[in-house]
Structure 1
């Protein structure tokens, strides 16, 4: 009887997971389908899982000026890789000392980190600070503003506090290891779960960021892929809004895809980032929960 109940519970649980997975995949399938559908078919019949009339025109329209897409990809990849690496280094260098119980003023420093999650100086001082530092039209303007995230510091601090035993650090000191050697040779190798988790968060932050490009970048060769996609959408909306020159033929305007090109841009934008998650999946849940289950 107990085995039958357990089997039924497992079946129900697996069924719920299958339904949840399908619910998550459904929007992605819709986006892919619409991006491969003829624009007139979308206007006539709406969104469908299977394209009513298959067409590559949205991608052809998007890649007419493929050099801009390639530059946007290059900028986003460079910014994401450099930003994530430096952010992980700085976050761990900040979180590890305040996780040590012998660190002076560890609690006030931790409170200062938490305080910045609740209050900030505002948009204008933030902009003036980076502009005065001469970061406009540089890749540094896309990297530095997202380097330190207080929430990530708190997660990493909890992980260090609840996972790295003080006796391990003390043993290393007895063996003659210095602080930086302990950090590099002991702490970091034991922190792969939380490093992978924070690395995924930061990778998504950098890859999806378009606001910093809009604020700090006026050189078209340095804009990120996401901001480039944002500009393309605005241009399409402007051309189809009726505010363009009346001399433009109506047939030419009708050829401009709207719904399909939006979905095509979504596929182009999310393409590379979906390959990151499988590499950190085995660490992801452990990195989030290990600090909550150890006392």
Structure 2
């Protein structure tokens, strides 16, 4: 049936149109600035279309392609392995907390919620990773700390609370064990929540540079975001310390502003294309389970 036009619907569409433009415009400015010559950025500022097209910003950050490719490989490995392991542990924990026949579900739910509010601090966390787990300068230092997040566990629990408990009882009557019920019954029905939480987790792994800064000294395991962070620091040092680098670098032609925009594109580019693929599951996973019957 064809919907009739109304002023209220037009106002709502207009509000969302303005919000969409407010979100897209800064991203487009970043893309445009990354392809703009440094002199044009200094003289005219940012514009939505490059007045003088230039690839200088990308040439600066691609001077050492081997390091960039290796960092991309480390980040892709960490994101895929970490997301798969984390979503499995998160789903298992959320399923246990959602089981109405589990005696200690309330106590453990409070324990998970409590850890979301209070943390042990940076020093105990560093000692745990380096002195007890002994995973410093390994890929595990980039994966294990983010394996289980209490917020994602509560999201998964809220979704699984909506699944009828009668399905589990029917599975038991048919002779299915706990593992079979979880993998063949619960997980397929939790696809929207799994996709939503997986997206959150993959973003956390992809955008992380803090763990690499703390625990990675071996250049072999430097992730992409840490490499970009170091490059950004070098660009800022060159731009702010002209008296030390004069003669070594032609500062009048050095693309410090466009290079920073190019760094943002290189770091965020792949995830910008992945997010639309999971948009339908993302919305469903956030809204379902939020209302009580």
Which residue among 240, 249, 253 is the counterpart of 1:255?
A: 253
Partner of 1:166: 165
Residues 1:289 and 2:287 aligned together: yes
Shift of 1:254: 2.8
Shift of 1:11: 2.6
- Summarize the alignment of residues 197-276 of structure 1 with structure 2, pairs less than 5 Å apart: 197-242=196-241, 245=244, 248-249=246-247, 252-276=250-274
Q: Tell me the TM-score normalised to structure 2 length.
A: 0.95
In 1: Cα distance, 2:4 partner to 2:88 partner: 49
Shift of 1:16: 2.2
**8 Å contact 1:238–1:244 — kept in the other structure?**
no
Shift of 1:279: 2.0
Shift of 1:243: 6.6
Q: Tell me the TM-score normalised to structure 1 length.
A: 0.94
Is the partner of 2:74 in helix, strand or coil?
Answer: helix
Post-superposition Cα deviations, 1:56-108, rounded to whole Å, max 9, x if no partner, equal: 11111111111111111111111000001000000011110110111021111
- Summarize the alignment of residues 150-161 of structure 1 with structure 2, pairs less than 5 Å apart: 150-161=150-161
C-alpha RMSD of matched pairs (Å): 1.7
In 2: Cα distance, 1:96 partner to 1:114 partner: 15
Aligned length: 291
> Which stretch shifts more, 199-208 or 253-262?
253-262
In 1: Cα distance, 2:3 partner to 2:72 partner: 53
Partner of 2:276: 278
Partner of 2:116: 117
Unaligned runs of 5+ in 1: none
Shift of 1:5: 7.5
Is the partner of 1:271 in helix, strand or coil?
Answer: helix
Shift of 1:220: 1.5
Unaligned runs of 5+ in 2: none
**8 Å contact 2:39–2:253 — kept in the other structure?**
no
Post-superposition Cα deviations, 1:188-234, rounded to whole Å, max 9, x if no partner, equal: 00000100000010011000000000000001221111110100011
Runs of 4+ in structure 1 displaced over 6 angstroms? none
In 2: Cα distance, 1:149 partner to 1:67 partner: 33
**8 Å contact 1:236–1:256 — kept in the other structure?**
no
Partner of 2:134: 134
Q: Does the C-alpha gap of structure 1 residues 251 and 165 become closer, same or farther in structure 2, counting only changes over 3 Å?
A: closer
Post-superposition Cα deviations, 1:228-262, rounded to whole Å, max 9, x if no partner, equal: 0100011111122227646x417623332111000
Post-superposition Cα deviations, 1:261-281, rounded to whole Å, max 9, x if no partner, equal: 000000001111112212211
In 1: Cα distance, 2:217 partner to 2:253 partner: 30
Q: Does the C-alpha gap of structure 1 residues 251 and 216 become closer, same or farther in structure 2, counting only changes over 3 Å?
A: closer
Shift of 1:293: 2.1
